[in-house]
Amino acid sequence: MKIGVLALQGDFDAHRKRLEELAAEVVLVKKPEQLADIDGLVIPGGESGTFLKLLGEAGFEKLKQFVSTKPTFGTCAGAILLAKEVENPRQVGLGALDIGIRRNAYGRQVDSSIRQGKLGQALIEMVFIRAPKIERVGPGVEVMATESGDPVAVRQGKVMAATFHPELSEDTRIHRAFLDMVCNGKGR
Amino acid sequence: MQLGAESVFVGSGIFMKDSTNFADPEEAAKRAKAIVLAATHFNDPKVLLEVSEELTGAMKGLAVAALDEAHLLQTRGW
């Protein structure tokens, strides 16, 4: 099972480490052609506007195709990229996840924090860094985790997203959930 | 990047021709783009060659040893 991590910018290396800990074979994706070789993709935290700049139009289209067919997991900037509507400021999205998302919703860098949230019934550490907030959850979207009642991790079909950074915590539950999703996908 | 860094920090010297004069904006933009693409595609010789073509030279910077401690990046912030 080959998992790609979009490696144009951001904390792709942190995701790589987490995935390798879970015995996944990781490919750092910098060119669109590499998308053909992977079974699932992680879009890391970073700066979503920068991702778009570095992807370019052709890269964006290839990525859009990919996320509509193969399992994809986005964290923070990755979640923003996957969303249908993006605000504060407005930005084009891949539209793979029927959510509305608001960038920098908690404030500036200094308002970043590590909090305890809920993954189902269990507590989980959540690292929020200039995080966005999911403001609209579409009908087909399942909320996987919450923090202070807000949805902070969601899933819709083969797409998963978190507004916090599981790759920066020791806890691997969320990455495992993604790998399970990729595994199950292969069975079909 | 090949030494294992996750990222490259570029200071405001990107805009400068030397320690006191601004570089021509087009030249600075070209160099900035080259730096970003080189950091992103650090293992791709073709990209490195492409972005290095017709650059007027490396970014001029200030020697760290010449800076006051108060001006050092690592002493700032929370």
Domain at A51, CATH number: 3.40.50.880
User: What's phi and psi for A98, nearest 5 deg?
Assistant: -80, 70
Instruction: Give the other-Cβ count within 10 Å of B75's Cβ.
Output: 9
pTM of the model: 0.91
A58: left (phi over 0), alpha (psi -120 to 50) or beta: alpha
Please tell me the predicted confidence (pLDDT) of residue A72.
98
- The confidence band for A153, taking pLDDT boundaries of 50, 70 and 90, is very high
- Judged by average pLDDT, the poorest of A53-67, A99-113, B47-61 is B47-61
User: What's phi and psi for B12, nearest 5 deg?
Assistant: -70, -5
Helices B45-52 and B25-40 cross at an angle (nearest 10°) of: 180
Indicate if the pLDDT at residue B78 is higher than 80: no
Report the C-alpha dihedral over residues A130, A136, A142, A146, rounded to 10 degrees: 40
Mean model confidence pLDDT for chain B:
87
Q: Which residues of B touch A9 (CB under 8 A)?
A: 40
pLDDT in tens, A7-26: 999 999 999 999 999 999 99
Name residue A87's beta-bridge partners.
Answer: A102
Q: Which residues of A touch B44 (CB under 8 A)?
A: 30
Report the C-alpha dihedral over residues A65, A68, A72, A77, rounded to 10 degrees: 70
- ipTM score of complex: 0.80
Q: Which of B1, B2, B33, B36 to mutate: most A Cβ within 10 Å?
A: B36
How many domains would you assign to chain A? 1
Distance set, CA A91 to CA A27, A48, A100, B9, B25 (Å): 27, 9, 11, 25, 27
Is there a catalytic annotation at residue A76?
yes
Helices A12-21 and A173-187 cross at an angle (nearest 10°) of: 70
Q: Which of A6, A9, A51 to mutate: most B Cβ within 10 Å?
A: A9
Domain that holds residue A76: 2-187
Question: Which residues lie closer than 8 Å to B46 by C-beta, 6 or more apart?
Answer: none
Indicate if the pLDDT at residue B76 is higher than 80: no
pLDDT in tens, A35-71: 999 999 999 999 999 999 999 999 999 999 999 999 9
Helical (H) or strand (E) element with A124: strand A122-128
Contact B75, B69 (CB under 8 A): yes
Q: Do A11 and B6 touch (CB under 8 A)?
A: yes
- DSSP for A51-86? HHHHHHHHHHHHHHHHHTTS-EEEETHHHHHHEEEE
pLDDT in tens, B3-37: 988 888 888 888 888 878 898 999 999 999 999 99
Please tell me the predicted confidence (pLDDT) of residue A135.
97
Mean model confidence pLDDT for chain A:
95
* Mean pLDDT of the region A99-127: 95
* Mean pLDDT of the region A164-181: 97
Contact B22, B16 (CB under 8 A): yes
Indicate if the pLDDT at residue A188 is higher than 50: no
Start-to-end Cα distance in chain B: 27
* Mean pLDDT of the region A103-114: 93
Q: Which residues of B touch A8 (CB under 8 A)?
A: 40
Please tell me the predicted confidence (pLDDT) of residue B69.
87
User: What's phi and psi for B41, nearest 5 deg?
Assistant: -110, 45
